[in-house]
Amino acid sequence: MVLSPADKTNVKGTWAKVGNHGAEFGAEALERMFTSFPSTKTYFSHFDLGHGSAQIKGHGKKVADALTKAVGHIDNLPDALSELSDLHAHELRVDPVNFKLLSHCLLVTLALHLPADFTPSVHASLDKFLASVSTVLTSKYR
Amino acid sequence: MVHFTAEEKAAITGLWGKVNVEEAGGEALGRLLVVYPWTQRFFDNFGNLSSPSAIMGNPKVKAHGKKVLTSFGDAVKNMDNLKGTFAKLSELHCDKLHVDPENFRLLGNVMVIILASHFGREFTPELQAAWQKLVAGVATALAHKYH
């Protein structure tokens, strides 16, 4: 799967609209994922997962900052995400199926907050982008 | 078998009552075909699917989307018996239509995204969770008679 120039434009455009709501959207996506897909909570037994949890907010910011970096280096995701890729492979070892669940909840969050911008084409580009990020993050698993 | 609490049923039914099934159906099927282009394999006779705008404006896509979502309404009315409700449709999708059940999961998630974009903050995490259960239940029910 390759991101076309149009995909990259769509992703950058959407992320610009996210502006400084990245941390908030990241936290919301995580909360939605924990609520809809309870098995994902198994990776966060050390967190307070209640609504409004400071740990979820903090983690949402981490996720958003990583995506911001990815958007900024969209032409070379493997390089930009190399450390995160190592982290997920050797320390976190999150089963690959969970990246689809978080990606879906990120799309839900973006569609909810930016409905006018979330056209079918933008939806497709974002889905491809998140799938590409997920592939890079699981690329060193074995 | 998937089980819904009284609260989940009320929340799902409440939201469904506000959905324009015709519009949402066309949008759901259209987005499926745009975001996951390989799903177009089932619709060779639908005419022009050459671009997102062609797909979203295609009258056959809209009509079929409406059909699909109207059928989904049966799920909302029969949350305690999804397998029974969709038994015949399951046989049809396996024996005649030859649709990989993964496509039901893809469409279900597209529907959830559309609900989010239409209802905004009303589509709370809890409401999303109830709908995720429903679309997963429908996907499972539609795959149940596969052999």
Per-residue confidence (pLDDT) for residue B58, from 0 to 100: 98
Distant-in-sequence, close-in-space partners of A53: CB < 8 Å, separation ≥ 6: A47
Distance separating alpha carbons of residues A118 and A39, to the nearest angstrom: 28
The secondary structure of chain A in percent helix, strand, coil, rounded to multiples of 5, reads 75, 0, 25
The number of domains in chain A is 1
Structural domain includes residue B85: yes
| A10–B contact, CB cutoff 8 A | no
Give the CATH number, domain containing residue A115. Answer: 1.10.490.10
State the residue range of the domain holding B32.
6-143
The secondary structure of chain B in percent helix, strand, coil, rounded to multiples of 5, reads 80, 0, 20
Average pLDDT, integer, range B14-27? 97
Per-residue confidence (pLDDT) for residue B2, from 0 to 100: 87
All residues of chain B having their beta carbon less than 8 Å from the beta carbon of residue A36 are 125, 128-129, 132
Answer for the pair A100, A137: CB distance below 8 angstroms, yes or no. Answer: no
The number of domains in chain B is 1
Of B57, B72, B53, the closest CA to residue B26 belongs to: B57
Residue B1 pLDDT greater than 90, yes or no: no
**Interchain CB distance below 8 Å, B55 and A120:** yes
Distance separating alpha carbons of residues A75 and A139, to the nearest angstrom: 17
pLDDT in tens, A90-115: 999 999 999 999 999 999 999 999 99
**Interchain CB distance below 8 Å, A112 and B117:** yes
Per-residue confidence (pLDDT) for residue B63, from 0 to 100: 97
pLDDT in tens, B28-74: 999 999 999 999 999 999 999 999 999 999 999 999 999 999 999 99
Per-residue confidence (pLDDT) for residue A84, from 0 to 100: 97
Structural domain includes residue B103: yes
Supply A3's token pair.
Answer: 């991101």
Of A109, A93, A85, A95, the closest CA to residue A30 belongs to: A109
pLDDT in tens, B74-105: 999 999 999 999 999 999 999 999 999 999 99
Per-residue confidence (pLDDT) for residue B67, from 0 to 100: 96
The ipTM of this complex is 0.89
**Interchain CB distance below 8 Å, A112 and B121:** yes
State the residue range of the domain holding A49.
5-138
| A112–B contact, CB cutoff 8 A | yes
Distance separating alpha carbons of residues A70 and A64, to the nearest angstrom: 10
Binding-face residues of B in 71-130 toward A, CB within 8 A: 109, 112-114, 116-121, 123, 125-126, 128-129
List the single residue in A with minimal CA-CA distance to B133. A36
| A16–B contact, CB cutoff 8 A | no
Distance separating alpha carbons of residues B110 and A105, to the nearest angstrom: 11
Distant-in-sequence, close-in-space partners of B74: CB < 8 Å, separation ≥ 6: B85, B86
DSSP structure string for B87-131: HHHHHIIIIIS---THHHHHHHHHHHHHHHHHHGGGS-HHHHHHH
Model confidence, pTM: 0.94
Residue B138 pLDDT greater than 90, yes or no: yes
Give the CATH number, domain containing residue B50. Answer: 1.10.490.10
* Percent of chain A residues past pLDDT 90, beyond the cut: 99
Residue B6 pLDDT greater than 90, yes or no: yes
**Interchain CB distance below 8 Å, A121 and B52:** yes
Place of tokens 């990020």: A133
**Interchain CB distance below 8 Å, B113 and A31:** no
A138 CA: distance to closest CA in chain B (Å): 21
Structural domain includes residue B16: yes
Confidence tier at A1 by pLDDT (50, 70, 90): confident
Residue B21 pLDDT greater than 90, yes or no: yes
Structural domain includes residue B65: yes
pLDDT in tens, A50-92: 999 999 999 999 999 999 999 999 999 999 999 999 999 999 9
